[in-house]
Chains A and B, each alone.
Chain A
Amino acid sequence: MSVSSRKMYHTQERRNERLNAPVICLRENAWLGEGYYFWDDLIDAIQWGHKSKRKTGYFEVYKAIISTENFLDTVFNEVHYRFWLKQVEKAADHIKRITGIKPTIKEVNDYFRERAVWSEVDGIIFQDIPENSNNLKVKAFYYRKRIQAVVYNIEIITTFEFYLADKCKPNK
């Protein structure tokens, strides 16, 4: 795996047939818009299966190798992080000032892609706050980043293969 490639995980409901490509996320609340979403850490991929991929009672995790050369890496690349932060806030301020409407992060990101035509950006690596402290080794502090990637250009996914399947835990 080259320096500009990452191993990541994709979680889906178990279907009749194994996937040979990731499933595009079309949810309107997907943080960074339409794209293929991946987890950096297997722990998060499995947790997502238990929480949100419950339709069939089972979920599957696929392992992928993704070429990240044309990614905005807002987690590990400080220059990219500061750039992205500045652009998000600039666009959000502008949209709010002109329209009076505060945009969501998805809308700002859609703006980048549709109106500013950032077509050369193949994907974004970003992080949010983990939801389940049971996976942490210390008490009451989220020292571990929950890292995801959204991929807009499926051609940069060089490997995609089944990794594991599991039964969803019963709802509490």
Chain B
Amino acid sequence: MLNLSELEQKLDKALSAETEVSLTVWLLSKRKKCLEFLGEGYYETLSPRIAVIEPNNSCFGNHFEFSNGYCAVGENNSLAA
């Protein structure tokens, strides 16, 4: 029969002993292991390209451009289906 109080005490003790570094390192080591099947290599950050449609010039073939203006499409994975 499991002693639940003992289990809880062990968990509380482990959690209270964690620091930001110890817990982050442990968690990332789990995730790194998860990605090891990809083989050796490095990760490259993919910056979202922001396509902007300017309302005043929305005729075909001109203003799909990259800037910080107007309607951001594709930013922060907010694309609709």
| Residue ranges of A at the interface with B (Cβ–Cβ < 8 Å) | 28, 69-72, 79-80, 83, 87, 90-91, 94-95, 98-99, 101, 103, 107, 110-112, 114-118, 120-121
> Which residues does chain B contribute within 8 Å of A83, judged by CB atoms?
4, 7-8
With known contacts A107-B30, A112-B11, A116-B14, A98–B1 Cβ distance under 8 A: no
Q: Is the CB of A72 within 8 A of B2?
A: yes
Q: Is the CB of B33 within 8 A of A98?
A: no
Q: Which residue on chain B has the smallest CB distance to residue A99?
A: B24
Smallest CB separation, B36 vs chain A (Å): 9
> Which residues does chain A contribute within 8 Å of B14, judged by CB atoms?
111, 115-117
Q: Is the CB of A87 within 8 A of B2?
A: no
Smallest CB separation, B47 vs chain A (Å): 21
Query: Can you identify 15 A-B contacts, CB atoms within 8 angstroms?
Result: A71-B2, A72-B2, A79-B4, A83-B8, A87-B7, A87-B8, A90-B11, A91-B15, A98-B20, A99-B23, A107-B30, A114-B26, A115-B18, A118-B7, A120-B3
Q: Is the CB of B24 within 8 A of A91?
A: no
> Which residues does chain B contribute within 8 Å of A121, judged by CB atoms?
2, 7
Smallest CB separation, B23 vs chain A (Å): 5
Partner of B10, one of A71, A80, A94, A116: A116
Smallest CB separation, B69 vs chain A (Å): 31
Q: Is the CB of A70 within 8 A of B11?
A: no
Q: Is the CB of B33 within 8 A of A28?
A: yes
Cα-based distance from A116 to B26 in the complex (angstroms): 13
Q: Is the CB of A91 within 8 A of B23?
A: no
The 3 A-B pairs of least Cβ separation, nearest first, read: A116-B14, A116-B11, A28-B34
Cβ of B27 under 8 Å from chain A: yes
> Which residues does chain B contribute within 8 Å of A107, judged by CB atoms?
27, 30
Of the candidates A80, A95, A99, the one having the most CB atoms from chain B within 10 angstroms of its own CB is A99
Cα-based distance from A103 to B13 in the complex (angstroms): 19
Q: Is the CB of A98 within 8 A of B23?
A: yes
